[in-house]
Chains A and B, each alone.
Chain A
């Protein structure tokens, strides 16, 4: 079984975001970059699937700059077998050209199952998995919180507003993973050592143009200074007169 996992290198969620001098990007100095937290669930599920079936290869793929080799190595240390960096250098990427480029590559390799995270926590797009499935013409279930494979058919559950959807999905398929699906393993020392010997291929790619252009990145407006109230009655008055929710 050929299992593909798409991952992304992102700014850690607790990093302080400062604007770059171009006003369109962040200043990366002082920012810690990590494997996208939702992709940890995707890598874990891929390795688990391989372990359960007893055969197969887990290939992790990312489109990005050479720096992303670090996050690919993290996945190899967790237990993935090989990694591919589609090196786009510093080209401007959006969901449109990212999915097109990764999609073209995945099409060229065997892929029985494709795992993604539900969302990359930098752009918070939640676009790539559905786009990839459309490009690959595969069925897809997004934001999956439980997954069982039987006879080549997935039963997947996902939360929607006010309910849980249970979806039946034939494979090959694209699955995007949500928190709750599994407990991602940590890369132990043995894994980290083994990862150094695993293949990490770099392919230079020239991306197509993005569909959108960043015009401006801004910091959120400061919330006005809050007020500490002494009594519940004062709060009720504020909720009535200012917030008008009562």
Chain B
């Protein structure tokens, strides 16, 4: 039976949401390909909870490679054990999330397997016996559909483009590896958690972003308060490059061409003009709200809903209204 492999990712013992989305994408693709099973692979240490989450993701099979040496991500280490496992599994297709890990790892695996890879895919295809994928190119100003002439098919998928499901129960197989810490070349020495308990920018279902219209770093609390109003674990704070370059916010919050690409259900742009390089990072959001005092700001062309007004008046009112709606 043909199988489609998903390379899943755990952090702090739990499965990352984009990995669940990748399982959904794999199941959809399996159906298009006329029936295939989905095998999810996961590498790490202390995978107990993550294995259970993956077993209930809709996948048919789970393979867990638990190794002390691989507790932290290691590009060469993870690639080595996964390439070995994938050679044995011989899947027709391999998917992973387009996360920091996926971006680093998938091309290594593709190179080792001598095959192609479509990164940051927003649609997957099976046509005339060939796999393919569509992805945004030129910062979202065009979409490119590529079909595969090599095997296996590989793609990393853009977070928030497929739904994560729970339900089902896969069989879980524990695989071992002889890899030891001494075999790793580049190793993670330290993980410095961001000083916030908010959801990572690329995984948040709501992103509230602020720009130069906020006038100064001392006013960014307006953005933070609106994000917090959506309740715990829902919204993340983003920023335009102008305010990152001015030192008001950290680069990790920058949305756009030279920052992060986000695709949340809701993106709220506050005092952001909507330069093309900013749009590149948020244009595929499901719904876009713009709050700007200039009715001609380009951001309004992308927005589903806009309020022309002063952020200093609109945002506190919106925060209160969201708070009471959330309850």
Contacts and interface: CB of A to CB of B under 8 A. Distances in A.
Contact of B141 (A37, A158, A212, A220): A220
Contact of A131 (B108, B136, B325): B108
Given A13-B257, A13-B280, A245-B287, A168 B147 contact: no
Contacts of B318: 232, 235-236
A14 B289 contact: no
A220 B140 contact: yes
A178 B290 CA distance: 28
B136 to A, nearest CB: 7
B100 A96 contact: no
B113 to A, nearest CB: 10
Given A213-B146, A214-B144, A229-B305, A160 B101 contact: yes
A155 interface: yes
Interface in A1-50: 11, 13-14, 16-17, 19, 26, 37-38
Contacts of B169: none
B52 to A, nearest CB: 21
Contacts of A168: 186-189
B79 A127 contact: no
For chain B, give the interface size range. Answer: 35 or more
Interface stretch (A57-65, A68-76, A116-124, A197-205): A116-124
A102 to B, nearest CB: 12
Contacts of A95: 107, 110, 116-117, 119
Contacts of B99: 160-161
Contacts of A215: 132, 145-147
Nearest to B299: A226
A37 B257 CA distance: 10
B32 interface: no
A207 interface: no
A182 interface: no
Nearest to B16: A161
Interface stretch (B36-44, B196-204, B210-218): B196-204
B228 to A, nearest CB: 14
Most buried by B among A165, A211, A223, A229: A211
Interface residues of A, number: 81
Contact of A165 (B16, B116, B191, B199): B191
Contacts of A38: 258
Interface of B: 11, 16, 73, 75-76, 79, 99-101, 103-108, 110-112, 115-120, 132, 135-150, 185-194, 199-203, 205-206, 230, 251-252, 254, 257-259, 265-266, 276-277, 280, 283, 286-290, 295, 300-308, 314, 317-318, 321-322, 325-326
Given A165-B73, A166-B188, A232-B314, 16 more contacts: A123-B144, A124-B136, A126-B107, A130-B106, A130-B111, A140-B108, A168-B187, A211-B117, A215-B145, A215-B146, A218-B143, A220-B136, A226-B288, A228-B295, A239-B322, A245-B205
Identify the 4 closest CB pairs spanning chains A and B, nearest first.
A211-B116, A161-B200, A139-B185, A130-B107
25 contacts: A37-B257, A37-B258, A99-B107, A124-B137, A126-B107, A126-B119, A130-B75, A134-B107, A140-B75, A159-B251, A161-B202, A163-B191, A164-B192, A164-B252, A165-B188, A167-B186, A168-B187, A168-B188, A169-B186, A179-B258, A179-B259, A180-B251, A215-B146, A216-B145, A230-B307
Interface of A: 11, 13-14, 16-17, 19, 26, 37-38, 94-96, 99, 121-131, 133-135, 138-143, 145, 155, 158-170, 173, 179-180, 209-220, 223-224, 226-230, 232-233, 235-236, 238-240, 242-243, 245-246
